[in-house]
Amino acid sequence: MQNHQHRVVVTGVGMITPLGHNVADTWAAILAGRSGFGPFTLLDKGDHTAGGLCEVKDFDPEKHLGRRDARRRDRNQQLATVAAREAMAQAELEITDANRERIGISIGTGVGGIRTLVDQEQLRVARGLDRLSPFAITMIMPNGAAGMLAIDFGIQGPSTTITTACAAGCDAIGHAFRAIRRGELDAVLAGGTESILTDVALGGFEQARATSSLESRTPRPFDRERDGLVVGEGAALLVMESLEHARARGATILGEIAGYGQTTDAHHITAPAEGGAGAARAITLALRDAGLNPEQVDYISAHGTATELNDKYETQAIKAALGETAYRVAISSTKSMTGHIMGATGAIESVFCLLAIRDGVLPPTINYAVPDPDCDLDYVPNEARPAPVRVALNNAFGFGGHNAVLVLKEFAE
C-alpha cells in the first residue's frame, strides 16, 4: 500500500504501569533498568507457583476518579481512564459538537473485567444474587473501557474493542491507524488496558506452564535460563490524528505511525508457529505497508515474553523478515521490567518506541546473563544504550496465533 491518503501522527500519550502512574515516571524507570516485579498484594500467594507479579503499585482509584466512579469501573477500566486522561491532556484535543463524530476510540484488551467477574461470583456464592452490583455487567464486558471513555470525553465516532489476546494493544492502534489513513476519522483515542490478576487467570497461566517461578531477577527474556513470563497489569493510550488535523490545530507531534501488519498462525491455540513464520509475515507486511526496507529499521521492541518458544521463534521470525540486517538491529524486551501486560502490552510498548525515537536511547532487556544459542541477536542487555532511532518496529503476538506489528517513525515534514 503506497497510496496513503493521510499520514497518521501521535499527539498525546498516557500510561500507568507497574513502574509508574504516568509516562514520565515509567520511562525514567525503564531507562534506569528498574524492575516492576514484586510480591503478591492484589491476591493471596496461596498455592500459586508464580514467584511474583508486576502489579501497579500504590494505586488508589478513588483519588483519580472519585468514590462513585471508581466503584462503577473494573480495575482495567480505572487504569484505562488514568492513561486516557494523561494522553488527552498532552494532546490538548478539545472535543466539541463540531468534531465529536469525527473522533473515535479503539481499545485492546485480552479479557476485560475478569476481576469483577470473579469478585461477583464469590459474592453470589457467599450472599446471594440480590447482592450483585447493578454495574456488574458493564464492569465485566470487554468493551466497558471504551464505553466509559466515550462518555468521559464525549466521543461519538466509532468505538471499537479488539480482543486478540496479547496482540490486542497493537491491533487497536493498527485499526485506528487504518481508519485515519483512509479518511474515515480525524482522530482516535487508541491503546490497550488489562488487569487480570485473579486466582483463576494466574492459575490458568501456571497450569499452562507459562509463568516464572523465580522470586527475583525475573522475567529473563532471551536468556538461556528463562523460565516463563511474569503477569502484569496496566494501560496505555495514544491520541492519533491525521497530519492535516494535527497541523490545523497547532498540535505538537510526537511521532508517526507508518505501517501495520497483521497475520494469524492457524497453527496452535497457544504455541507460536515453528520458525515464527506468522510473525515474520506480519513484520514483512508492516514494513511493506510503511514503504520501508529492513535496512531502515533501527530498533525492534520485541514481544519477548521470556517463554521458551516465544523468544526462540521470535528471534527466528526477525531473521526471516530482516535477513542479515537482523544482526545489526537493536532489540529489547521491556517486559523484563513491566512484566507481560497482555492486551495492553502492545500499546505500552508503542509508547516506549515513540520515546526511544524522541530521546535517542534504546531501552534495555534486564535480567540478561546467560546467552542462548537459539537467541543470538542484540538484545541491548541490562543497560539502556544511546543511539539514534528513526524507525522502530513493535512486535506483539497473542494466544490464538494472532500476530501484530507496528512501524513507528520519527516525524519529518
Strands 330-332, 187-194: pairing is unpaired
Any idea what DSSP says for residue 53?
A: B
Fold of 8-248: Peroxisomal Thiolase; Chain A, domain 1 (3.40.47)
> Which residues, listed in sequence order, are joined to residue 386 by a DSSP beta bridge?
361
Task: Spot the catalytic one: 6, 48, 340, 402.
Answer: 340
**CATH class in words for 263-409:** alpha beta
Find the catalytic residue in 6, 21, 166, 375: 166
C-alpha pair distances (Å), 26 with each of 30, 234, 391: 6, 11, 22
Distance from C-alpha of 291 to C-alpha of 260, rounded to nearest angstrom:
11
Find the helix packing angle between 277-290 and 308-322, rounded to 10°: 40
Is residue 268 part of the annotated active site? The answer reads no
Q: Which string of DSSP letters, residue by residue, matches 114-161? A: HHHHHHHHHHHHHH-GGGS-TTHHHHHSTTHHHHHHHHHHT--S-EEE
Annotation says 303 is catalytic: yes
**Closest to 26 in 3D by CA, of 287, 351, 408, 252:** 351
Name the DSSP class of 102.
G
Please provide the DSSP assignment of 63-99 as one string: HHH-HHHHHTS-HHHHHHHHHHHHHHHHHT----TTT
Residue 154 amino acid letter:
G
Cis peptide before 18 (omega within 30 of 0): no
Distance, CA of 371 to CA of 358 (rounded, Å): 30
**Residue among 303, 353, 375, 402 flagged as catalytic:** 303
Q: Where in the chain is the domain with CATH 3.40.47.10?
A: 8-248, 263-409
Q: Model pTM greater than 0.95?
A: yes
User: Tens-digit pLDDT profile for the chain (413 aa)?
Assistant: 345 589 999 999 999 999 999 999 999 999 999 999 999 999 999 999 999 999 999 999 999 999 999 999 999 999 999 999 999 999 999 999 999 999 999 999 999 999 999 999 999 999 999 999 999 999 999 999 999 999 999 999 999 999 999 999 999 999 999 999 999 999 999 999 999 999 999 999 999 999 999 999 999 999 999 999 999 999 999 999 999 999 999 999 999 999 999 999 999 999 999 999 999 999 999 999 999 999 999 999 999 999 999 999 999 999 999 999 999 999 999 999 999 999 999 999 999 999 999 999 999 999 999 999 999 999 999 999 999 999 999 999 999 999 999 999 999 98
Beta bridge partners of 242: 8
The residue among 309, 115, 304, 303 whose CA lies nearest residue 202 is 115
Closest-CA residue to 49 (of 219, 221, 209):
209
3-state secondary structure of 232: strand
Going by their DSSP bridges, the two strands 385-386 and 103-108 should be labelled as unpaired
